[in-house]
Structure 1
């Protein structure tokens, strides 16, 4: 992956707090999403756990 990733992981789960990530899939009923980190690791988490990366130009 090149460039800046559009989201930051906010929660302290699996040692990933503060790491940039990208949103792959967004769920509806349980407010969940699939995110991928720069090293290729993917996880299903709450959408409340991610926030926009302010360093990425709009």
Structure 2
């Protein structure tokens, strides 16, 4: 699993997922570990970072 689902939709907030397809208008297809699949916005996910470092603002 390469991403974390950020939105509180269908009880999936904070769960790891992976992007299986990207569409137009920032839509993506994500799959969760239990096999559940949904189409959602690309804004709903963030890259998973196991070290806990921020991926948005890297430190110099």
Q: TM-score range by the shorter chain?
A: 0.7 to 0.9
Matched, 1:17 2:23: no
Matched, 1:31 2:26: yes
CA deviation string 1:7-58 (max 9, x = no partner): 0000000000000000000012x210000000000000000000000018xx
- What secondary structure is seen at the aligned counterpart in 1 of 2:17? strand
**Which structure carries more helix by proportion?**
2
Q: For CA contacts below 8 A with separation 6 or more, give which structure has more relative contact order.
A: 1
Point out where structure 2 has 5 or more consecutive residues left out of the alignment: 52-60
Point out where structure 1 has 5 or more consecutive residues left out of the alignment: none
Total equivalences in the alignment: 51
Q: TM-score, normalised by structure 2?
A: 0.81
Dislocated runs of 4+, deviation >2 Å: none
Structure 1 or 2, whichever has the larger Rg, is 2
Q: TM-score, normalised by structure 1?
A: 0.84
